[in-house]
Structure 1
Amino acid sequence: MPSRQTAIEYATDQLQQGNITADQANVMAVQIEGVRVICGKVPSSVRKALNAAVKAGELGHIKKEGLKPEVYHHKNARANALEERERVFRRAIESIKGVFA
């Protein structure tokens, strides 16, 4: 699976060449990367593009549950998305344990 930086660079290059729109670049970056964990705020235009791709069947989406983050993923990478989401969740739990220890 390519790194996030590689995915962003490729999508940016395609955008600058005029081959794709900004919305398509955001979707392409997630498809190349495989899994994108959303831990903070995302601009509404990006979220709209990703949600439109989910509705079109291009991407998958897992909603936020408690400390488990929201995840967008390639439609064939759901297992990887669940693993990454669980890893981020475990890291958050360990951080909280460190505060109370």
Structure 2
Amino acid sequence: MIKYLECLGYHGTIEPQIDDGTLFGKVAFIRDLITYEASTLPKLINEFHQSVDDYLEDCRELDKEPDQPFKGSLNVRLGQGLHRQLAPALKVSMRLSAKRSLKR
């Protein structure tokens, strides 16, 4: 199981650099590239937190909406045959869901 660093809802990787013995990481599950590097795990954790803080500050200064991990949408490719089989059931399910939402 992969363990991630966590800060303000962002998740960071921990990867060893075999050639020089340092640690490297990047923020996962977003499109923007945020990286960090350090010689020890405690320093890497600190660099991760600082990188997230710097990213959010840069976004504020640029008036840019920061990328958010796990936006709540998931695109899945089913294949044409399975899509064809599921479409009628999904249509009924979506119609029922919409009716329930309107009644609230």
TM-score after normalising by structure 2? 0.32
Counting helix residues as a fraction of each chain, which structure ranks higher? 1
Task: For CA contacts below 8 A with separation 6 or more, give which structure has more relative contact order.
Answer: 1
| Structure index of larger Rg | 2
